[in-house]
Amino acid sequence: MPDEEGHPLPAEMDLRTVLHALADPLRFGVIAGFLREADGTERTCASFQLPVSKSTTSHHFKVMREAGLLRMVDHGNSRTAVLRTKELDARFPGLLDLVRAE
Amino acid sequence: MPDEEGHPLPAEMDLRTVLHALADPLRFGVIAGFLREADGTERTCASFQLPVSKSTTSHHFKVMREAGLLRMVDHGNSRTAVLRTKELDARFPGLLDLVRAE
DNA sequence: CCTTAGGTTCGACTTGCATCGTACCTCTTG
DNA sequence: CAAGAGGTACGATGCAAGTCGAACCTAAGG
């Protein structure tokens, strides 16, 4: 089962849920943004400056987190998100490459 | 531009549109159904016996057709759908493998 | 201790999408 | 020509999802 922050294990990740998460333009842009950075790059939600309110931004990150795309890391002061590259490549080989190619 | 039946060329296919088409359970099931058959298999919309009305079935096939997943072939009496395997593999390598692996 | 920065949660609103029934189209077959 | 099979188009409806503002939480730093 997902942990207290809603992160599913790779085996629990559902392809349709992931596809739905990626189908939204803003969320797709966030994942594409991570793929343009070095693997393991951590970023705050705010750093993406999405053209929506803070609460909507939080909602989108929750969808990605619960789909298994992102992991939230607590740093005391600010929380950061990191793309679960390794786990996604193992569970859905080729998926991130498709996003990267776009 | 898409032809008169709404089939996009591979270059016109949009990944997000394809992901959205695949995110629906019924549509995902149809594509998965095609992948269980021999490549090039043609099937009528009705042959899937989706648990929805005829008009809803037609709607779902339209979404898949306009995303580029399916091509409709006119046979005079009945129209059949066929998965655009080659074009999809070329445009989005690995995508169909993900669906197949599910 | 108060302020600020970064996120979350909640309730409300609004848009989008799946769904349906009805009507219509085309081709085949009796 | 009428009837039936397979699909499409359209308008209406209901639910899911995106959006927002306001209130709240935690940690850092003056």
Is A5 among the domain residues? no
pLDDT at B77: 80
Residue B88: is it exposed, middle or buried by C-beta count within 10 angstroms (0-12/13-18/19+)?
Answer: buried
Q: What is the pLDDT of residues B45-89, one digit of tens each?
A: 999 999 999 999 999 999 999 999 999 998 878 899 999 999 999
Between chain A and chain B, the number of residue pairs with CB atoms below 8 A apart is 44
Domain that holds residue A54: 10-101
What are the structure tokens assigned to A60, written together?
A: 């989108």
Higher pLDDT, A64 or B102: A64
Residue A32 touches chain B, beta carbons under 8 Å: no
CA-wise closest residue to A97 among A48, A32, A9:
A32
**Per-residue model confidence (pLDDT) at position B1:** 65
Q: Is the pLDDT of residue B2 over 70?
A: no
Residue B4 within any structural domain of the chain: no
Among the ranges given (A42-46, A51-55, B1-5, B18-22), the one the predictor scored with the smallest mean pLDDT: B1-5
Asked whether the beta carbons of residue B95 and residue A92 sit closer than 8 angstroms, the reply is no
Residue B92 lies in a domain: yes
Distance in Å, residue B6 CA to nucleotide C4 C1': 53
For residue A24, tell me if it sits in a domain: yes
Token pair in block for residue A87? 């786990």
Number of compact structural domains in chain B: 1
Instruction: State the pLDDT at residue A6.
Output: 84
Between CA A76 and C1' C17 the distance (Å) reads 40
Do A92 and B98 lie within an 8 Å CB cutoff?
yes
Which residues of chain A register pLDDT less than 70? 1-2
Residue nearest the C1' of D27 (CA based)? A77
The nucleotide whose C1' lies nearest the CA of A44 is: C6
pLDDT band at residue B5 using 50, 70 and 90 as cut-offs = confident
Q: pLDDT-derived band of residue B6, with 50, 70 and 90 as boundaries? A: confident
CATH number for the domain spanning B63: value is 1.10.10.10
Residue A93 touches partner B, C-beta closer than 8 Å: yes
- Residue B100: alpha-carbon gap to chain centroid: 14
